[in-house]
Structure 1
Amino acid sequence: MVIRPLSSGLQAIAKIELNENPERVETDVDHLRQWISHQPHLRSRTDDQWLLSMLRGCKFSLQKAKKKIDSYYTMRTSVPEYFSNRDPYLPEIQKILKLGLYLPLESYNGPRIFLNRTSNTDPQEIQFHNLMKTALMVMDIVLNEDDNCIIYGQCLILDHKGITINHLLQFSPLECKRALVDTKKAYPFRFKGLHVINTPFVYEYVVTMIGRVLGAKFNSRIKAYAEDNIHKVWENVPKRVIPKEYGGDGKSVEELTDEWKRKVENYKDWFIEDSKYLCDESKRIQVNSNELGVEGTFRQLTID
């Protein structure tokens, strides 16, 4: 089995918070691989590390991991504009990468922070589906590389400095649902919080809309901050992680932008190869509610 070893500290967190049992990992990964091989509608990745990330994101529930994998590829069918033509050198993607609109900050012993700065764009030039496409490319890289994010979870910071009504008009209810709900269902990142900073007069509309889409559980994790109390966002984050522009000692936004532009570009061959993995709904076999497995018993089955 080929997987990255965890530090002793991260392994302890995985055991406590995700129910990870190192002695059972290989068996569970093999179980998922066998299940995928009997799903004619799924053309899925089956490498050890990717399947393990799905298990960790579902706290090692095989039933939930199967649903997560199915949702991950179903999203590619239901929202093809987010996943087609993922060549990092396409002009529309290059434009977004150069602007640094979606940036993972440096890792630390806590949830991975993603900084979204869409307000510094011309809404007439940046189309929402291209922004989402690029953001999901970044998320796929993090999914491939960052065990820390898979285990600790993720936190999204939306910087709305300079946002206008024209920016908000890009977010139709349908687009908002796709971007937030579908992504949450498809990716194995545990949602730890959404912080909206530099909130203008329209922030109540934005936060209310997001809260309604995500539901009560996640609505409690959404916070909005005006410019004069933005420091509260970073209270539990090491200064070495916080970008210089936000009062920290971490890499500047410009440095992070250059770093992630190069990283996404270096994944070009991976994205091209990844395009072959998908969901073909015409081949989906209708199953009963127990087909995905019953918690507590289905680990005993080789194929379900």
Structure 2
Amino acid sequence: MNSKALTPFVKGLKNYPTKYNKDVAEIRKWYDKQVHLPEIDDEFLLLFLHACYYNHDKTKKAIEHYFTIRANSPALFSDRDPLSVKTQNVLEYGNFAPLPKKTAKGYNILLYSLHDTDTSRFVFAEGIKAFCMFNDVRLSEDGLSDGYIVLFDMKGCSVGHFARVTLPALRTYMAYIQDAHPARLKEIHILNTAAFINHVMRLVQPLIQSEMMNILKFHRELPPDEHIPLELYPSDYGGKAPSVRELHMETRKIMESYPYRDWLIRTGEELKADDTKRPKKKSSWGFFGGTDID
């Protein structure tokens, strides 16, 4: 593999599972014929296989969706410098916190919340961009995770935030998370559910596939202990982990520093399909092309 090939694991994948070498070889044989896709290493192929539970057809579809959505949505996937003014704004008002310990089933836990509730700072597309940058870093740091539990804390969210959600960015984000993001999503919990959640769901529900709807749960406070024991939470949620802001700042430092900053910038420019080389067949994601997302 060429040293210029893109990798999802900045520091390399620990404990590479060689028992899947044949699967990787099969996907590599197919991938090398996709002239419109960028050059990636075998660890990238393995990540997609793992996320798709080693189903080859689903893996190929996820790969195609991944690179095509990124190519057709530059507002969300290009200009990924974590030190840019716009991304710094997101990292100031938001919290992206990976919890230090896994669940008993070996699942990683990611918690998202608002640090500053000022709606004037909230730009939905920029928030999604930073969210995807954070998730790329987590995939790199976590390796082949058995699964992810995602917590969205609505405390401090208002109708003003909801009013700033833009449909093109939301549509792209939902397609990406469900059809392209190479991770095993196990549970999604909405904490401190806001009174206007029904209005949110009227907008979002048509974009949610049944598989995701089945793992989406709403809570007035925290999920029951059988999902996540209280001790795993940050200290400001009653747990034993560092505070949300401390965890966020640790992650922010990783994103902003070498080697991740350079990697995020590079992948923003190169980790996408090249439609000029695509076989003459209309892309299923063509309607995203040229969309101006605010």
For 2:241 and 2:38, the matched residues in 1 are separated by 40
1:145 equivalent to 2:138? Answer: no
Given that 2:62 and 2:181 are in contact with CA atoms closer than 8 Å, whether structure 1 keeps it comes out as yes
RMSD over equivalenced CA pairs, Å: 2.4
The equivalent residue for 1:92 is: 86
For 1:100 and 1:141, the matched residues in 2 are separated by 16
CA distance change for structure 1 residues 83 and 232 in 2, over 3 Å: closer, same or farther?
A: closer
Given that 2:148 and 2:185 are in contact with CA atoms closer than 8 Å, whether structure 1 keeps it comes out as yes
What is the CA distance between 1:195 and its match in structure 2?
Answer: 1.5
CA distance change for structure 1 residues 189 and 208 in 2, over 3 Å: closer, same or farther?
A: farther
* Greater Cα offset, 208-217 or 124-133: 208-217
For 1:3 and 1:94, the matched residues in 2 are separated by 29
* Greater Cα offset, 231-240 or 277-286: 231-240
Given that 1:128 and 1:170 are in contact with CA atoms closer than 8 Å, whether structure 2 keeps it comes out as yes
2:263 equivalent among 267, 270, 274: 270
After TM superposition, the score normalised by the length of structure 1 is 0.79
For residues 51-200 of structure 1, what are the structure 2 equivalents within 5 Å? 51-109=45-103, 110-118=106-114, 120-147=116-143, 150-200=144-194
Given that 2:178 and 2:212 are in contact with CA atoms closer than 8 Å, whether structure 1 keeps it comes out as no
For 2:110, the aligned partner's letter is F
Given that 1:197 and 1:224 are in contact with CA atoms closer than 8 Å, whether structure 2 keeps it comes out as yes
Given that 1:41 and 1:282 are in contact with CA atoms closer than 8 Å, whether structure 2 keeps it comes out as yes
Q: How many residues align?
A: 267
1:26-50 CA-to-partner distances (Å, cap 9, x unmatched) read 222233233222211111422x322
Consecutive unaligned residues of structure 1, counting only runs of 5 or more, are: 7-21, 288-304
% of aligned pairs identical? 29
For residues 264-303 of structure 1, what are the structure 2 equivalents within 5 Å? 264-266=255-257, 267-274=260-267, 275-286=269-280
The equivalent residue for 1:250 is: 241
What is the CA distance between 1:55 and its match in structure 2?
Answer: 0.7
For 1:239 and 1:199, the matched residues in 2 are separated by 18
For 1:233 and 1:102, the matched residues in 2 are separated by 22
After TM superposition, the score normalised by the length of structure 2 is 0.82
CA distance change for structure 1 residues 203 and 220 in 2, over 3 Å: closer, same or farther?
A: same
For 2:57 and 2:79, the matched residues in 1 are separated by 31
For 1:131, the aligned partner's letter is G
Structure (1 or 2) with the larger CA radius of gyration: 1
Q: Which has the higher helix share?
A: 1
What is the CA distance between 1:54 and its match in structure 2?
Answer: 0.9
Given that 1:157 and 1:194 are in contact with CA atoms closer than 8 Å, whether structure 2 keeps it comes out as yes
For residues 16-27 of structure 1, what are the structure 2 equivalents within 5 Å? 24-27=19-22
For 1:107 and 1:170, the matched residues in 2 are separated by 34
For 1:100 and 1:171, the matched residues in 2 are separated by 15
What is the CA distance between 1:186 and its match in structure 2?
Answer: 1.2
For 2:113 and 2:79, the matched residues in 1 are separated by 23
For 1:133 and 1:58, the matched residues in 2 are separated by 23
CA distance change for structure 1 residues 207 and 118 in 2, over 3 Å: closer, same or farther?
A: farther
For 1:80, the aligned partner's letter is P
For 1:86 and 1:187, the matched residues in 2 are separated by 17
Given that 2:62 and 2:179 are in contact with CA atoms closer than 8 Å, whether structure 1 keeps it comes out as yes
1:261-281 CA-to-partner distances (Å, cap 9, x unmatched) read 111112111123322232111
For 2:141, the aligned partner's letter is E
What is the CA distance between 1:123 and its match in structure 2?
Answer: 2.6
1:126-159 CA-to-partner distances (Å, cap 9, x unmatched) read 3111111111111111222213xx4422222111
The equivalent residue for 1:293 is: none
For 2:218 and 2:69, the matched residues in 1 are separated by 29
The equivalent residue for 1:34 is: 29
Given that 2:235 and 2:243 are in contact with CA atoms closer than 8 Å, whether structure 1 keeps it comes out as yes
